[in-house]
Amino acid sequence: MIKKEVIIRNLLLLILSLSLISTDGYGQRSRESSKKSSQKAREQKSRESSKEKAKGTKGAKDSKDQKASSKSASREDDCSPSAGLSRSREPRNLAQLQDRIRALLSKPELAAANVGIKITTLDGQVVFEENASKLLVPASNMKLYTTAAALEKLGADFRIRTSVYSYSRPDQTGQIKGDIVLYGRGDPSLGSRFNNDAESVDALALLARQLVNAGVKSVDGNLIADESYFRGSPLGYGWEWSDIQWSFGAEVSALTFSDNSVDVAIKPSSVPGEACFVAVTPDVGYVGITNQIQTSQPKTKREVGIYRGLEDNSVLVWGNLPVGDTGFQSRIAVHKPAAFTGYLFKEALRQVGIIVKGDVLVADSSRLSVVKPVDPTRDRLVELASIQSQPLAELVRVVNKFSQNLYAELLLRTLGKMKGSAELDSDTAGVEVVKEWLASVGVDTKILSILDGSGLSRRNLITASATTELLKYMSRRPLREPFEASLPVAGIDGSLTKRMVNTTAANNVKAKTGTVNNVTSLSGYVTTAGGDPLVFSIIINNFTPGRSQSRAVEDEICLLLASFVCKLGGAK
């Protein structure tokens, strides 16, 4: 019995043992399988992760390459902004530049105005144009035509001579029997406030000293102020009567001194109710003053009026200046400037001890001349003294830098006299010379209306296209340097001193300004930030809001051009 129980127990242990072995084997295999499965999963995950990383890396690289490609493409189509304009305002290609200019011209205040504009490269590729062939009043842009023609036809070194003649030399006592003649040929620089040559400024005193050196002590006859070298009106066709009392509308004469004008300076007294002090410079009694201007109480509003008659030299001054006021000064043109110059010369002679016993008389080219004019090429005259003007290049510089009207008008008449028809008045002959020269350089002059040399006439009509053609032509001529050097420089000098200051256009834009009532213009040269030299002409007519606004548009356009960094090789 016991043996049987032992056998049964051993069988049970055996079965249990087999069961445990089976279970442990299964468990081991299961753990190993699980481990292998887990490892496979990790490896799979790792492989997937590697693929994702690789994909991500590739994506990042592709994105970077795409950005680089986009940036590269951007550089091909656009250009980086320069210092002139903010990044948001910088035109990045030619189309944007043109759009920006159109936007400026589309301002509401310009809606009723007439605007002509043309911008080209030096080889003629058009950057922008609008109404470029429309006839417009150029104002002082007319001076570009006069000065360019003068340089081309007369040369940069051309000078103008002023002479003192007599019909005989002084006798042993130093007396000249008969008249002496102060003969002008249109030198605008004698005594001019724009003249930086001390000899020319003191020209009459220099001539007087030459007469002393020639042995002259007295003149038995008259002093003839001869302005007959030029023929025609002393005023330009189309000038307004309200201009001609001021220095910018001064009468034109072959015998000119002190810009044919005087300074009228007014200062208050120290006592309210008393008359103000009025002084005229230079003063030889030629200009008379009627003083009706009084000194008012301190800090009251000043009021000054000045009027010179159209056919006299009587100047009426009225109004009031308060005590302590710094004073008022103005330049007033003189009527019959040759006589004015004659009286100044007579005084210069007196100061060196030469007495002229007779009067100052004027000889002109008209049939109404009281005195017969001399002809140095025909008459047997003795030249006792002479003085030469500064070179033409310097006279042109004054014309363009300071927009000096009288200089321009005298150069126009000099062109007429030297190169034009003797059958025409000097100014008309000069206009014909300018037009013939323009035609020779490729400008269609048939539609142009040129009536003076300064642009003061409201009847001048030119186009932006004609002006850019002139500028392009002069840029490749031997006389390019004196011509371009005569133009005002933005932010630096002349009539552009206070414009475009501290911008990329400053010390870059070289251009002639123009201003008459309701008209402004600006034409010249500018170099873009991309290195392209351009010519441009902007003419704005019938603009009533005020010249400061139209000038602002001109300046904005110049700034856009100066700041433009793209190359314009393909401008259309």
Residue 346: the pLDDT is 98
Rounded percentage of the chain residues whose pLDDT exceeds 90: 80
Extract the tokens encoding 346.
Answer: 């007579």
Q: Examine the pLDDT at 183 and tell me if it is beyond 60.
A: yes
Mean local confidence (pLDDT), 122-127? 96
Look at the chain and count its residues: 572
Burial class (CB in 10 A: 0-12, 13-18, 19+), 75: exposed
Extract the tokens encoding 572.
Answer: 């259309």
**How confident is residue 54, by pLDDT bands cut at 50, 70 and 90?**
very low
Q: Examine the pLDDT at 80 and tell me if it is beyond 80.
A: no
- Residues near 558 by beta carbon (within 8 Å), at least 6 away in sequence: 490, 500, 505, 509, 511, 522, 526, 536
Buried b (16+ CB within 10 A) or exposed e, 6-27: eeeeeeeeeeeeeeeeeeeeee
Asked if 187 and 162 count as a contact pair (C-beta separation under 8 A), the reply is: yes
Residue 331: the pLDDT is 97
Query: Which residues are catalytically annotated?
Result: 140, 143, 403
Mean local confidence (pLDDT), 503-532? 97
**How confident is residue 78, by pLDDT bands cut at 50, 70 and 90?**
low
- Residues near 135 by beta carbon (within 8 Å), at least 6 away in sequence: 447, 448, 449, 461, 462, 463
Domain with CATH 3.50.80.20 in the chain: 161-236+338-390
Dmax (CA) for the chain in angstroms is: 191
Domain 94-155+393-563 top-level CATH class = alpha beta
* HEC profile of 386-453: EEECCCHHHHHHHHHHCCCHHHHHHHHHHHHHHHCCCCCCHHHHHHHHHHHHHHHCCCCCCCCECCCC
Distance CA 139, CA 554 (A): 15
Domain with CATH 3.40.710.10 in the chain: 94-155+393-563
Distance CA 277, CA 279 (A): 7
Distance CA 308, CA 317 (A): 9
**Whole-prediction pTM:** 0.84
Mean local confidence (pLDDT), 259-274? 97
Instruction: Please write the tens of the pLDDT for every residue from 334-372.
Output: 999 999 999 999 999 999 999 999 999 999 998 888 899
**Better pLDDT: 530 or 43:** 530
Averaged pLDDT score across all residues of the chain: 87
Cβ neighbours around 326 below 10 Å, total: 9
**How confident is residue 89, by pLDDT bands cut at 50, 70 and 90?**
low
Distance CA 467, CA 458 (A): 17
Domain 161-236+338-390 top-level CATH class = alpha beta
Q: How many CA atoms lie within 13 A of 209 on its CB side?
A: 7
Instruction: Please write the tens of the pLDDT for every residue from 215-258.
Output: 999 999 999 999 999 999 999 999 999 999 999 999 999 999 99
